Amino acid sequence: MELQIDGLNKRYGAVHAVRDFTLRLEPGILGLLGPNGAGKSTLMRMLATVTRPSSGTIRFNGSDVAKSPDELRRTLGYLPQDFGIYPHLSAIEFLEYIGALKGIGRRTLRDRIATLLDALNLAHAGSRPLGGFSGGMRQRVGIAQALLNDPRLLIVDEPTAGLDPEERVRFRALLREMAGERIIILSTHICSDVESLATRVAIVDHGTLLADEHPLRLVRGCASLEEAYLQIVTGARVAA
């Protein structure tokens, strides 16, 4: 399994949001780090087939995603940064709806929902309307919908935003269990999440890939991944 990104660009008028981005991914967890406005969410929307690139290619297992998006969509799990809900539906009803859209069989879906609600500490609230959920609980429902179809490619944008420390630990453990046979792209501004999970780290600023390395190599000579990240971003800005 392979995700190949070659020369990817995205422009919005005069704004060049993603610049000549090239990366090759195999199963494991990629931690995507960058400041606000770095182009991370734009990149992830292109990988999730929500936004079309201005130029460049994305290939999943050799297939051009722009030409044949359905092959990727069948095995894709995606949690965008701004995740919407239907407040009058219960968590179970909402996940049943999303599962039906993804074409998951009823029996498989029922079992999958029960497993995910338990794993994300939501089993007690499954029948409650989403409108009464806290921000952290809604985020966990978003994580559940991204995992419903047992995706081979999982893209999660700021997934731990709004989660308390215990929930973050639970989510990290869930991702760690899944990582062996999937490509997982985790975008976050929380360096500790990346440091504890990622098998690779990509640092992005102004739409440009500044570094792509194993986290242990990135932190060599630094006290932490956060220090290494700040040095790389600051150095790139000074050079520019």
Which pLDDT tens digit goes with each residue over 45-92? 999 999 999 999 999 999 999 999 988 999 999 999 888 889 999 999
**Average pLDDT over every residue of 125-141:** 94
pLDDT given for residue 212 in this prediction? 95
**3-state SS of the chain?**
CCEEEEEEEEEECCEEEEEEEEEEECCEEEEEECCCCCCHHHHHHHHCCCCCCCEEEEEECCEECCCCHHHHHCCEEEECCCCCCCCCCEHHHHHHHHHHHCCCCHHHHHHHHHHHHHHCCCHHHCCCEHHHCCHHHHHHHHHHHHHCCCCCEEEEECCCCCCCHHHHHHHHHHHHHHHHHCEEEEEECCHHHHHHHCCEEEEEECCEEEEEECHHHHCCCCCCHHHHHHHHHHHHHHHC
pLDDT given for residue 176 in this prediction? 87
Which pLDDT tens digit goes with each residue over 162-220? 788 888 888 888 888 888 889 999 998 788 888 888 999 999 999 999 999 998 899 88
pLDDT given for residue 180 in this prediction? 82
Nearest Cα residue to 159 out of 75, 83, 62, 52: 83
Which pLDDT tens digit goes with each residue over 211-236? 999 988 998 888 899 999 999 999 88
Cα 234 to Cα 211: distance, rounded to the nearest angstrom = 13
pLDDT given for residue 240 in this prediction? 64
Cα 10 to Cα 72: distance, rounded to the nearest angstrom = 20
Q: Class of the 3-75+152-239 domain?
A: alpha beta
Can you read off the two tokens belonging to residue 231? 């040095």
**Average pLDDT over every residue of 106-135:** 95
Residue 125 above 80 pLDDT?
yes
Cα 211 to Cα 202: distance, rounded to the nearest angstrom = 5
Residue 9 above 90 pLDDT?
yes
Can you read off the two tokens belonging to residue 191? 């360096």
Residue 239 above 80 pLDDT?
no
What percent of the chain clears pLDDT 70, i.e. is strictly above it?
A: 100
Nearest Cα residue to 81 out of 48, 130, 112: 48
Which pLDDT tens digit goes with each residue over 46-58? 999 999 999 999 9
Could you tell me the residue ranges of all domains in the chain?
Answer: 3-75+152-239, 83-150
What average pLDDT does the structure give for the chain? 92
The pTM (predicted TM-score) of the whole model is 0.91
Q: Count the alpha carbons within 13 Å of 164 in the hemisphere toward its beta carbon.
A: 5
Q: Tell me the backbone φ, ψ of residue 71, rounded to 5 degrees.
A: -60, -40
